[in-house]
Structure 1
Amino acid sequence: MGGAAVRLAGALGMVVGGEVPVRVRAWDGSEAGPEGAPVMVVRNRRAVRRLLFKPGELGLARAWVAGDLEAEGEIYPVLEAVAGVVWERGEEAPSLWRSLRRDEFRRGVLGLVRLAGVPLPPAPPVEENRSGRHRHTRRTDRQAISHHYDVGNDFYSLVLGPSLVYSCAYWGDEEETLEAAQRDKLDLVCRKLGIGEGQRVLDVGCGWGSFAIHAAREYGAQVVGVTLSQEQAALARKRVADAGLTGLVEIRVQDYRDVDDGPYDAISSIGMAEHVGAERYLEYARRLYGLLAPGGRLLNHQIARRPQDDEAGYHLDSFIDAYVFPDGELAPIGTTVTQLERAGFEVRDVESIREHYALTLRRWVTNLESGWQRAVTLVSPGRARVWQLYMAASALAFERNRIGVNQVLAVRTPDSGASGLPLRSRVWSG
């Protein structure tokens, strides 16, 4: 019969309809698969059971988070290899069970069943959080934000580096430091918003206060930052105090829907709108429009997905929804622009910076892996593996144009029609 790896690679090959794109090393030390291919280590039979009971992306993710699967060496080659099975086939995996009449497929499944051992589904890792329907009430949004952000400021400091900016950096070249690229991103947002001395600025989803600090220190703005995370707010306030900016920056634990002290001259929303939800997006846009003074600008920095043939049936990737962003939702850039315009905004500029996020994520993965032992101590082995898988897979998704990220500059144009923007707001080169 051969070793477990031979049997596993053979059975998986029958299921996916071709040679397994990785070299498999099984729990008994045996190996099988293409020579020179990236090596996926299958540590136990439980990994096979996870794939059987939850075929596709979520089963793979559960096995990874639980430590039942791992890559030998760098994670990227293994993820790139399995992407052809998981991504290019989308959510096809569950439908494969409907083709049991195919003899080869049936033999593959039976082979996996024999290898799996105990015929019971393993419990999901404790890190999984299934939120169900995307309701986006104040309570469920607060819970979702806490799940993602309240895992410890020290952990995020390790991953994000000194800048503590949890959104896409803006790179001049690939040799630039992460801190310099994040500073350039914060400055880019300030310049697009036209921030000046004494202006009132609202930072929606302010994180650890990095943008608020930059806008106040470099441009003299009066900034209010709002977040739903208690841990973020505590560290943001300390950073503001340490920078000597308590007279210019206020950090609140507050839902953006409860902000009622407008008008503001400018609003930044950097990496926050993904949490709003499709059903609430127009409400979000109208709320921000109402908080701006006439002539005020909004900079909406948001991840976007590719349009789907069946938009009604779309849902966020199951791994991301279960482990990373409960209640998170992505929309195509066209949908976002339409909703902002429906709210009354004049959209003046859309800049795609997709490649910049791939570079940013790869730096975050490097930070995490370089400090792996400390990361595991700060959170848990499973939580560290969640972030490793999520960031590495996201980097590849940006590189392959499965998802993008855009900065949309919109204006609450006054009745006079004067937008206040220069005739040439951007200079193109290259």
Structure 2
Amino acid sequence: MTDAAARLAALAEEVLGAPLPLRIRAWDRSETGPPGAPVLILRRRRALRRMLWKPGELGLARAWVAGDLEVEGDLYEALDQLAGLLWERDEPAAPRRTRLAAALKAARDPKVRAAVRELVTLAGPGLPPAPPREEAGSTRGPLHTLRRDKQAISHHYDVGNDFYELVLGPSMVYSCAYWERPDTTLEEAQRAKLDLVCRKLALEPGQRLLDVGCGWGSMVLHAAREYGVRAVGITLSEEQASYARKRIADAGLTDEIEIRVQDYREIDDGPYDAISSIGMAEHVGSVRYAEYTGILHRLLAPGGRLLNHQIARRPEPDEEAYHVDEFIDRYVFPDGELAPVGRTVTQLEEAGFEVRDVEAIREHYALTLRRWVANLERSWPEAVRLTSPGRARVWRLYMAASALSFERNRIGVNQILAVRTPESGASGLPLRTRDWRG
């Protein structure tokens, strides 16, 4: 077979109803497409079989993770162009759906049907191979039980602390940084974020702080060292807990900080003066969110503050039709769910909180993700050695695609400050907005 690239480009245009904005290089080394554009490389025919048998982002993701599909050139530009083909970008409020999947599953046009048949022939005989081993295994039973949540967290976080050090840098903070300027270092921006959280919580010496989803201990370390609090951090990841405890011991703060491998539903030693939840609530799930907010309200002392830092999606016209991103669910955050910020505010209020401030910082996350991608790419051989080629490709794809999603306003991230206001009505906040201390 010769000139597979030209045939693929023509067939793709027939199916999608639009020309491919990327160059294509096929397994036979043929190449076609706009000069200077990023190159989509199909290294093996099975990449095409994966995409035909599972049309949409999951088939593409499996081909990418397996190394059957690669991009040469600007990855961000390539992903942005692919997003324009795969998803209905002209209908931002419509339910997320795949143009490719719709074309392949519901095509009635004889020309499209003929093109699909030729694509199947071009892909070669046989079923697609099994999904890459980096894909999370199928889970059964009710969502967000203690056991299932622990398994989901382990899939994402227990992939090696050395790997995360490469990606996150010395701060070891795996959430959106806070940038005063784009040329600030990642470490400075992460320190600024931690300090912003501490100031919003109005932390003072001697207070008790609970950090829900403490990761590698950066928040509790900063709060204890800079604000003199006594802190408890909880995580479901054994690897994170071991790493955090060592950092705390090295800092001489073992009397001030306790790290527990514990689910938020198992905490019974309140009240706390302040609670931080930074990048954790995305794992809670809609079926448990009311329980989550109720538990945090119960654990907080009257007058205490909660800082909930959480990624948000845009609302759908039909919320019942919302479905999670297949690539993220299978390869990155199993069982993770995003909710619109308005729903999160409502559920906090229904739990008894008084919501006092919402700060949207989505552009900050785009900057953060681009720095993480740069860290990963700079240390690529070591990242592959520490995990696997497929795992490194998962992280590169999801972080680069997420950066674009924040930049294009497809998702956002918000810091919500809420208070367990006592019966007297005295919130403890100042009259001036964002002065933080009363």
Q: Does 1:411 align with 2:419?
A: yes
Q: Does 1:370 align with 2:378?
A: yes
- C-alpha displacement of 1:301: 0.2
**Contact 2:303 / 2:420 at 8 angstroms: preserved in 1?**
yes
User: Match of 2:288, SS?
Assistant: helix
| Letter of the 1:182 counterpart | Q
Distance in 2 (CA, whole Å) between partners of 1:394 and 1:8 is 28
User: Match of 2:416, SS?
Assistant: strand
User: Match of 1:71, SS?
Assistant: strand
Distance in 2 (CA, whole Å) between partners of 1:354 and 1:397 is 9
Which ranges of structure 2 fall in alignment gaps of 5 or more residues? 90-95
**Contact 1:7 / 1:111 at 8 angstroms: preserved in 2?**
no
More off after superposition, 127-136 vs 4-13: 127-136
Aligned to 1:64: 64
- C-alpha displacement of 1:237: 0.2
Q: Residue 380 of structure 1: which of 379, 384, 388 is its match?
A: 388
- C-alpha displacement of 1:46: 0.4
- C-alpha displacement of 1:133: 6.8
Task: Please report the TM-score for the alignment, with normalisation by the length of structure 2.
Answer: 0.96
Aligned to 2:237: 229
Distance in 1 (CA, whole Å) between partners of 2:102 and 2:38 is 27
Q: Percent identity?
A: 70
**Compared with structure 1, are the counterparts of its residues 358 and 133 closer, same or farther at alpha carbon in structure 2 (3 Å cutoff)?**
farther
Distance in 2 (CA, whole Å) between partners of 1:149 and 1:74 is 28
1:296-375 paired onto structure 2 within 5 Å? 296-375=304-383
User: Match of 1:279, SS?
Assistant: coil
Distance in 2 (CA, whole Å) between partners of 1:87 and 1:357 is 22
Aligned to 2:93: none
Distance in 2 (CA, whole Å) between partners of 1:172 and 1:355 is 12
1:203-282 paired onto structure 2 within 5 Å? 203-282=211-290
- C-alpha displacement of 1:179: 0.1
**Contact 1:134 / 1:327 at 8 angstroms: preserved in 2?**
no
User: Match of 1:268, SS?
Assistant: strand
**Contact 1:131 / 1:327 at 8 angstroms: preserved in 2?**
no
Q: Does 1:87 align with 2:87?
A: yes
Q: Deviations over 1:61-81 (max 9, x none)?
A: 111000011110331111011
Distance in 1 (CA, whole Å) between partners of 2:14 and 2:215 is 47
Distance in 1 (CA, whole Å) between partners of 2:47 and 2:128 is 10
| Letter of the 2:169 counterpart | G
Q: Deviations over 1:222-257 (max 9, x none)?
A: 000000000000000000011111111110011111
Aligned to 1:125: 132
User: Match of 1:167, SS?
Assistant: coil
User: Match of 2:181, SS?
Assistant: coil
Distance in 2 (CA, whole Å) between partners of 1:175 and 1:88 is 34
**Contact 1:8 / 1:111 at 8 angstroms: preserved in 2?**
no
**Contact 1:42 / 1:70 at 8 angstroms: preserved in 2?**
yes
- C-alpha displacement of 1:2: 5.2
- C-alpha displacement of 1:11: 1.0
Distance in 1 (CA, whole Å) between partners of 2:223 and 2:108 is 63
Q: Count residues in correspondence.
A: 427
More off after superposition, 20-29 vs 198-207: 20-29
User: Alpha carbon RMSD of aligned pairs, Å?
Assistant: 1.2
**Compared with structure 1, are the counterparts of its residues 95 and 278 closer, same or farther at alpha carbon in structure 2 (3 Å cutoff)?**
same
Distance in 1 (CA, whole Å) between partners of 2:141 and 2:331 is 15
More off after superposition, 2-11 vs 294-303: 2-11
Q: Does 1:162 align with 2:162?
A: no
**Contact 1:270 / 1:301 at 8 angstroms: preserved in 2?**
yes
User: Match of 2:37, SS?
Assistant: coil
| Letter of the 2:78 counterpart | V
**Contact 1:99 / 1:105 at 8 angstroms: preserved in 2?**
no
- C-alpha displacement of 1:94: 2.5
More off after superposition, 313-322 vs 269-278: 313-322
Q: Deviations over 1:301-357 (max 9, x none)?
A: 000000001111212111000100001000000000000000000000000000000
- C-alpha displacement of 1:112: 1.0
Which ranges of structure 1 fall in alignment gaps of 5 or more residues? none
- C-alpha displacement of 1:134: 6.3
Aligned to 2:155: 147
**Compared with structure 1, are the counterparts of its residues 282 and 241 closer, same or farther at alpha carbon in structure 2 (3 Å cutoff)?**
same
Distance in 2 (CA, whole Å) between partners of 1:397 and 1:131 is 27
**Contact 1:168 / 1:360 at 8 angstroms: preserved in 2?**
yes
Aligned to 1:293: 301
1:33-44 paired onto structure 2 within 5 Å? 33-44=33-44
**Contact 2:314 / 2:340 at 8 angstroms: preserved in 1?**
yes
1:70-109 paired onto structure 2 within 5 Å? 70-88=70-88, 90-92=96-98, 93-109=100-116
Distance in 1 (CA, whole Å) between partners of 2:103 and 2:24 is 22
**Compared with structure 1, are the counterparts of its residues 132 and 109 closer, same or farther at alpha carbon in structure 2 (3 Å cutoff)?**
farther
